[in-house]
Structure 1
């Protein structure tokens, strides 16, 4: 069995590539990083180290790599594959669509079997987004044929892959936990299921559960940790005040998720505890500024802070920890982060309230807006007091 995977970065190699290899696939990585492609071609294998006490290591071999800029070669490889996956970032999907489209055209011409194309991105409906871009390169006739043979099931992925500090540039360290959830499709019924993948009939609950627990908790720890001078998430989570903010935010988002999707309350509580344990893994080092980067995206209306807070408000539930995290995000002024710089400039030029409305979508009279503004000023006072040594 052959797999084509777009994105030979740490997530691609340490998560998706590893699972595909373990499921018996020969993986061909597609990337535009010439150095990375050359290294993979030369070695034909790499190691994945698990961040645990034992330091378990897995060898991923029988791999190859091709230049993503060589569209003809990429398309030919897709035409002969059994599965196509991506881990490139949602913003990059449009750039790989032409190659995927050409591969689909070749595949249809040759009468190959059904093909799943799965975007393993940290976003809602990644595969659906990719399909729209791909179909933009196909004629109506080819689109109709593709509907019969190509499936784009949406997926949710979860595995912490921190910044790497390995001597071997191909080696990847990942946390022990992982979750790869894929939406079932009638077309997938005829295909072999991948070991380690959780197939579900309805994906949205699992995507939002992950986004509003893992991603929410991570950024709450990052923004509060940044304000307290912490360098890593692990250091932040060892601070009792920050831990209380993270736990509080996850209880608020959890209550909203349970109400929205009818998750079992006890099972979700265990899931939250599992997430908190992952954040304090002593064998992982994740920088606060990396997790907190791009604050504008993270305080947008449908993302990890505003969306669960809005759900909680809708059901008459408290969201004070989530709005405090929004306030902390507005104070995030990390160097070399364009979004952080934009936020600070907006607060200075437009004022706090206009900035909150502009980036969160919360009207100035909305209770969540009012809470976030109040918490912003409280944090501001605390920062000023700390600066004066009070």
Structure 2
């Protein structure tokens, strides 16, 4: 057993894993070993050793991703081996799947330590979460011996994931089980200071000194604007399917842009050395152009669903409002988007709401204050003005008669 420098062990063979992380490293000359719980994908990867990423923008561009294979997450010994011998590891499983990975990561690190007590392992955390580095550090500390040199041997590399990947329709999955659709954007922002080894020479990696600023930018500009477009679009016409349909309505486009600009003011206040009004205005206008990519076929359902998470206290809307409260800045447009999200009841192509949206709807039935407290995490006694504004917005939406 020996460490292979140009091998990526990638937890997660889903949308971001295949379309983005695996694609970047495969094109960059790495063998990519996908580790996933979904056996049909693992079996197919091992059968083919390649798959296609279809770039959707006008004329489709097909990238054939080679030198790939799969390992089942349930095969603990193989997973530990792949971690121990990888040149680099990446994680893209979604927040709900992280807890199952830490014991395997810890055992893999210990096996690696037996091989080489000085060869560090960088872990690229390709998850949409704030303070991901601290979370990973804390969880692995619980599982590793006290004398394991974690600071020296493990780099917890936070990222900002900006690539948009739509839900695949049934007909497209049936045509090719492994193919994945994605937009042309192909930049992976990573924490420059977190790497313990030299940063991989992979085209598309964009190292940043202050990764916290860029994680917040993704959450409070990109994710916030995305969700706002979905919620306003659904309220305007519940029959809309695609995000571009909503943004083709000038009033919706202008309101989404204004909401993103309000959040940009908050980011500039928090990170004055990282962002300028000009840079964020350009970023917002570029995002809105990407959101309107008709070829991508991104749906209002995908962008807006999972309200329990997306309206959560640290997420795109409530999180931005909390920052605004910290700096005593306006947040009315963001709050209006959040309240619009409370009325979001979009369904997928099979006519089903997201399971967490069903749960959310039951909470909303108890009143908007219940949502603000239990889902968004706001304190009513400390934020009386916020609760008052939210009640007014909620009542105005109910009185429109179209929801």
The answer as to whether partners of 1:6 and 1:88 remain within 8 angstroms in 2 is: yes
Pair 10,186 (structure 1): closer, same or farther in 2 beyond 3 Å: closer
Counterpart for residue 260 of structure 1: 270
Say which SS state the counterpart of residue 344 (structure 2) adopts.
coil
Deviations 1:322-345 (A, max 9, x none): 111111111123453333333332
Deviations 1:104-134 (A, max 9, x none): 1111001162210111001113343233333
CA distance in 2, matches of 1:190, 1:313: 40
Q: Which of 102, 106, 128 is equivalent to 2:134? A: 128
- Give runs of aligned pairs for residues 177-196 of structure 1, distance below 5 A: 177-185=185-193, 188=196, 190-196=198-204
- Give runs of aligned pairs for residues 113-262 of structure 1, distance below 5 A: 113-141=119-147, 143-144=148-149, 146-165=150-169, 166=172, 167-185=175-193, 188=196, 190-227=198-235, 228-229=237-238, 230-262=240-272
Say which SS state the counterpart of residue 77 (structure 1) adopts.
helix
Counterpart for residue 370 of structure 1: 388
Counterpart for residue 347 of structure 1: 364
Shift of 1:356: 2.0
The answer as to whether partners of 1:225 and 1:242 remain within 8 angstroms in 2 is: yes
CA distance in 1, matches of 2:243, 2:49: 34
Deviations 1:281-322 (A, max 9, x none): 011112212221121222222211122223334444332221
Say which SS state the counterpart of residue 122 (structure 1) adopts.
coil
Q: Which of 47, 67, 71 is equivalent to 2:72? A: 67
Counterpart for residue 57 of structure 1: 62
Deviates more, 1:132-141 or 1:169-178: 132-141
Give structure 1 regions of 4+ aligned residues with deviation exceeding 6 angstroms: none
Shift of 1:347: 3.3
The answer as to whether partners of 2:156 and 2:195 remain within 8 angstroms in 1 is: no
Pair 77,346 (structure 1): closer, same or farther in 2 beyond 3 Å: closer
Aligned length: 382
Query: Under a length normalisation based on structure 1, what TM-score does the superposition of the two structures give?
Result: 0.92
Say which SS state the counterpart of residue 178 (structure 1) adopts.
coil
Shift of 1:189: 5.2
The answer as to whether partners of 1:68 and 1:74 remain within 8 angstroms in 2 is: yes
Counterpart for residue 356 of structure 1: 372
Query: Under a length normalisation based on structure 2, what TM-score does the superposition of the two structures give?
Result: 0.89
CA distance in 1, matches of 2:199, 2:295: 37
The answer as to whether partners of 1:209 and 1:257 remain within 8 angstroms in 2 is: yes
Deviations 1:51-78 (A, max 9, x none): 1123222111011111111111111111
**Structure 2: tracts of 5 or more residues without a match:** 1-5, 347-351
**Structure 1: tracts of 5 or more residues without a match:** none
CA distance in 1, matches of 2:364, 2:195: 50
